[in-house]
Structure 1
Amino acid sequence: MTGQTDRKTMLKVLIVDDEPLVRTGIWYSICWQDYGMEPVAEADGVDGAIDVLQQRSIDIVFTDIVMPGRNGLDLLRWIQTNSPMTTSVVLSYHNDFSYIQKALRYGAADYILKTELNHDDVKLTLQHVAQKAVNNSKNLEELGTSPWTQLFRCGLAIISPFGSQVTAQKSDMLRVKHHIQVSRSSVLLLYGSAPDESVLLEMETRHKEKNILVVFKDTSSTPISSLLLAVKLFSERDLFYLYLPDISRYDCDMDLALNHDKTLDGPEYAVLEEEFSSMQWIYDEDLFSRMLERIIDARPLPSVIYNLFYSVQGQWARYFADGSIPDMLPISNIRFWYQWVNWLNNFKTFISNESHLSSYSPEILASIQQLLIWLSDNFSNNIKLKDAAKMVNLSESHLSRTFKNIVGLPFNIYVRGLRISHAKKLLTQSALKINDISDRCGFTDRFYFSKVFKKETGMAPSEYRNTNSII
């Protein structure tokens, strides 16, 4: 592994866990030399780990999360602020999303389950961790020790919004006292005095096709470790929310960047997930605006936003009889917050246009939303229009007209679509008998099921299975 990390000396590793047997297990279960690493110290808690970090040079810290007293997240925060060039990795038994989210927010390079230490995927993770630690170490070697005791009037980061390689050009180095390669896609330039506006404009013009400039002004009282942390946080979190294609320079508020302590944890995330899933935001512009404001105020990591919308997409699909969402910009192509907002607005427009909503009150629209969810969960039962009308407290005739106008399909056709869509999945993804599939999809008569299925798809159920089966 030393060849892979391009390093002559081994990366020094600290293992932190409150259980001695676990520390021993980690020490001996990983073939450290394969990754250019060497465990040199261990600690049974956060205080002991901080003592080690203050007394000797450590490249990588592997830490548990749940420990007596201060936990692993406290240690990650300490490292992020006091030793930002140290790479940290979480080793835990807890596969809990909130733990993972916080660990990554506090600078962990990765999150590894202890039960998966011998899996092939972990080998790739350890290689990535080793390379990151090598890059940090190279920065320290190039800088020496003097910059860490100096103060600088201005810091300027050159960042690729798309993760491309960034290197400082010779023309960028005028009046620069030091520069640090913070990551593959970001470089920090340190100035003894703030560069003139003309210098910034020239750099902005030179880089605007591929990169952005982030200016950290009046940093004379800011340690370099905090500047590095601010660049890291801007690259990994703030850029996602601030980036716009026509803006190539951003001024960063150091206090805002370093002291932002909000996120979407637990109940707050669950509330947003429920609100987006309900789709009431489509008809209530004030609610939609408040939801977006709460996200921007919390500024969670981009991965949290992706997880949120990937999750609610599955709920949205239940509003469509064929179980699929309209074909718009693929989520996989979205990189920034403004694109998410555009996507959501386009989705709102599509639903509003399709359902002719302008003449209905928010209360009626909300009732139909809840009915669609109920139908998605109960289509396998013997559902009648009168049952649905009773549920939403409308007469059958009123519901029949309203449902067709809002959803775009008559009630019975919509329910039949749900059943046929589910039948297709069972035919292609299970070995269930056709009789059983008929029952599970709400058809009490197999022959009627076959007749309806053939009318909808052009094929008998058995023929559809033979043609499309994936098992």
Structure 2
Amino acid sequence: MCPAVSAWGRPLRCACRSSGRRDDRMLNVMVVDDDYLVRQGFIRIMPWESFGMKVVCEASDGAEALTTLSRHAVDVLITDLAMPVMSGLELMKEAKERYPNLHMVVLTFHHEFDLVRDALRLGALDYITKVELEQDQMAVILQRIRDRIGQRTSFPPQGAGGGDDRSFAEDAAHAEFRTTGAEKQWSLLDAGDGGAPDGSPTDVVRVRWTGVRGMEKKELLQKLRLYGEHALYYSWDEEARECELPAELLAELRPPAKEETIRLGLDWCKLSWMTDPVVFDRLLDDTARLRLPAAQLEQMFYMAIEEWAKVFDPESFRIDPAHRPHTWKGWTRWLSGVRRAVLSKADRQAYSLEVIACVTKAVDLVNQDVRAEIQLPDVAKKVGMSRSYFSRCFHDIVGVTFQEYIRDSRIRRAKTLLLSTNKSVGWIASESGYPNERYFSRVFRDVTGLLPREYRKQSAAHVTNRTK
């Protein structure tokens, strides 16, 4: 039996079927992109082996990828979205049906929530963006993917750590979980080892599981391996080194509907929770109720950060990779800190919480659909402010005028569409909220210094050159 498991203890698809058994620490990777130079360059520049990965095959479109998948043992599929013959989304859908344990990652030139929601529905594990590649974040990208897939679990020797067939006579059992490194694992402790973990490593948390009387020790250990990390994630405060939890938490949860997950992500992308404590508490409750896998939750917040950064100083919510939250309670503290930072800065500008709430509501109204006709008087009326006062407050709090914010939002969307689709400039103009191609091209050049076609060509050439 192949011992490699996912972050939540589920078996990875065994890669032994066609080429003999391989090192179970090494993950086989497939890269799919219709641009040969980009694909080859991406394969060459990434430090795969340093993170236990190996590119074993590649393809230029979804149809070719499906054929290749049938001949190779692949653990991780990395695919572009916009491709001829069969798109990346179509490939992901078909691959998910054929290989349900295949991990899928999107290689894309955008990071807009509304444009990747379909990939989320199909179970995309992560997104590799052009911005990350330009910033030489290759090692960070692979480490993130590897973390989310999860290191293999090392099983204790037979009979060690309470892994025998005996049942618990008491109603509580003590266990330890190593939270970091390649040896992330659960182990049961003997009855006399239930004290405070003063002599344990700092990356070990000790848990007293209640409600186990009559349960076989091997059954508890199996449940810990399958569901313990997830239960701990939503119940443990990472600042503590011990806690007590009911064993009933060690059960497989029904995954939330994709629509609920996407709606939650979109709600966090908005700004209203920063000023409205009721909305903030509701989002915290909704997130805790859905109990998303840690990797999915983390990705959702990283995507939301990009939306917040369009309005507020990114330093207010920058995450240090070495100290990112590792539990839901850690994320809750971080979110509270973001609110305090944003409100503190606005307070220094001498604006009341009510005014800040009106401005953030206006931003959310714009972001709902940049294609719609948006007029300052209409938005000011909707948020309950006079036109002139709204205009001044918006500029002071956001840092640009209301019209500049609309323009910048539309140009950001246009850039994304130019790089992620092969659609005409006229179509992109319409999708970005501009009435005609000529006006759109003039505004685009004023902002970027390039016409839309020039921007698309130059960006493609830049990526190609970087990958040579």
What range is the shorter-chain TM-score in? 0.5 to 0.7
Equivalent-residue separation in structure 1 for 2:334 and 2:227 (angstroms): 23
Which one of the candidate residues 116, 134, 138 is aligned to 2:98?
116
1:89 aligns to what?
none
Distance 1:367 1:262, change over 3 A: farther
User: Following the alignment from structure 1 to structure 2, what is the Cα–Cα distance between the partners of residues 271 and 329?
Assistant: 23
> How far has the Cα of 1:240 moved from its partner?
1.8
Q: Normalising by the residue count of structure 1, what TM-score does the alignment of the two structures yield?
A: 0.53
TM-aligned CA distance change 1:244 to 1:416, over 3 Å: same
* Pairing 1:423–2:414 present: yes
Task: Select the residue among 253, 256, 273 that pairs with 1:281.
Answer: 273
Cα deviation for residue 116 of structure 1 reads: 0.6
Whether the 8 Å contact between 1:155 and 1:227 is mirrored in structure 2 is no
The 3 A distance-change label for structure 1 pair 446 and 135 is: closer
What is aligned with 1:329?
319
Q: What CA distance in whole angstroms lies between the structure 2 residues aligned with 1:144 and 1:293?
A: 37
Partner AA of 1:189 in structure 2: L
- Determine the structure 2 residue equivalent to 1:228: 221
Q: Percent identity?
A: 20
Residues 60-139 of structure 1 mapped to structure 2, 5 A cutoff: 115-117=97-99, 139=158
Moved more, 217-226 or 421-430: 217-226
**How does 1:128-207 map onto structure 2 within 5 Å?**
139=158, 147-148=165-166, 151=169, 155-162=173-180, 164-165=182-183, 185-191=185-191, 194-195=192-193, 200-201=195-196, 204-207=197-200
Once the two structures are superposed, what CA deviation does each residue of 1:398-432 show, in whole Å capped at 9, x if it has no partner? 33223223322211111121222233234434444
Aligned residues: 333
Q: What are the superposed Cα offsets for residues 95-119 of structure 1, whole Å, 9 maximum, x if unpaired?
A: xxxxxxxxxxxxxxxxx98831499
Compute the RMSD of aligned alpha carbons: 5.1
Q: Deviation at 1:220? A: 5.5
Q: Does structure 2 conserve the Cα–Cα contact (< 8 Å) formed by 1:230 and 1:257? A: no
Give the TM-score of the pair, scaled to structure 2. Answer: 0.53
Among 199, 219, 240, the residue aligned to 1:247: 240
For the Cα contact (< 8 Å) 1:404–1:411, is it kept in 2?
yes
1:208 aligned onto 2:201: yes
3-state DSSP class of the match of 1:247? Answer: coil
Matched to 1:396, the amino acid is R
Query: 2:283 & 2:399 partners in 1: Cα distance?
Result: 27
| Alignment check: 8 A CA contact 1:161 1:211 kept | yes
3-state SS in 1 of match to 2:318: coil
Deviations 1:289-315 (A, max 9, x none): 45435655775653563465466557x
Shift of 1:283: 0.8
| TM-superposition CA deviations, 1:371-421 (whole Å, max 9, x none) | 323323443455332343344454322332232233222111111212222
Between 1 and 2, higher relative CO (CA 8 Å, sep ≥ 6) is seen in: 2
1:340 corresponds to which of 305, 309, 331: 331
1:440 and 1:217 map into 2 onto residues whose CA distance is 56
Query: Against the structure 1 CA distance between its residues 427 and 294, is the aligned structure 2 distance closer, same or farther, given a 3 Å change threshold?
Result: closer
Name structure 1 gaps, 5 residues minimum: 7-29, 36-111, 123-127, 166-183
Listed as ranges, the matches of 1:450-461 within 5 Å are 450-461=441-452
Residue 39 of structure 2 is matched in structure 1 by none
Shift, 1:329, TM fit = 1.0
Return the index of the structure with the highest Cα Rg: 1
Instruction: Provide the residue aligned with 1:170 in structure 2.
Output: none
Residues 450, 323 of structure 1: alpha-carbon distance in 2 compared, 3 angstrom cutoff = farther
SS at structure 1 position matched to 2:240: coil
Q: How does 1:371-450 map to 2 (within 5 A)?
A: 371-434=362-425, 436-444=427-435, 449-450=440-441
Query: How far apart, CA to CA, are the structure 1 residues paired with 2:330 and 2:431?
Result: 40
Does the 8 A contact of 1:403 with 1:411 survive in 2? yes
Letter in 2 for 1:207: S
**1:32-55 deviation digits (Å, cap 9, x = unpaired):** 9989xxxxxxxxxxxxxxxxxxxx
